[in-house]
Amino acid sequence: MKHPREKYIFHITHIRNLPGIIRTGGLYCDNERLSRGINNLSIAHQEIKDRRARRQVSVAAHGTVADYVPFYFAPRSPMLCAIHHGNVVGYQDGQEKVVYLITNITEACNCGQAWCFTDGHAEMLPSEFYDDLNQLSQINWNVMRSKYWNDTPDAPDRKRQRQAEFLVHKCYPWSKVLAIAVMNNMATTEVEKHISMADFKPRIVVKSGWYF
């Protein structure tokens, strides 16, 4: 079994954001993007982003959740499901244009930025924040390994737990991205075009099973 520190974590973004990520040297948190005037194509619920800008982080560099770059602990997130079903206001491109930027916990801890993680969706109570890797046991790894994460009468908190996050303060470097996962070969071609002039080129993998 993979050691928890070597477990992969996943940031999802629109494929058209790749040139800007490469140009600026990495993924920037929402607050840092706004202060730097960095524009991107959002795939998120704006009302949730607004709440993340108010939710206080109790560990690491403190601040709010909007001061951190978010990663999931598993693919097939509830957020991607909402995208697939067209439930994100203002976004119409579907899941085919969404890519995963993949790293692992060790790389994230060693990227030069403060970090922490949560045991559920960072914006939601009763999710808690941790900055001690010994507390990774607070993650519901059974839910992370499951293909389906819907709440059930016996386990009514699975959806929140599936959205647990690893959070990196301010910026996650492009050079620390281990791989890019896409839905199909057409997306592979588009990613190859976007990263063709980059000094650092992560490998590209087709992971159709990570989509809905």
Catalytic residue positions, numbered: 52, 165
Query: Would you say how long the chain is, in residues?
Result: 212
| CB environment 137-167: b (16+ within 10 A), e (fewer) | eebbbebbeeeebeeeeeeeebbbbbbbbbb
Would you give the DSSP letter of residue 110? T
- From CA 52, how far away is CA 64, in angstroms rounded? 7
CA distance 63 to 122: 13
User: By the 8 A CB rule, do 163 and 125 touch?
Assistant: no
Asked if 99 and 13 touch (Cβ cutoff 8 Å), the reply is yes
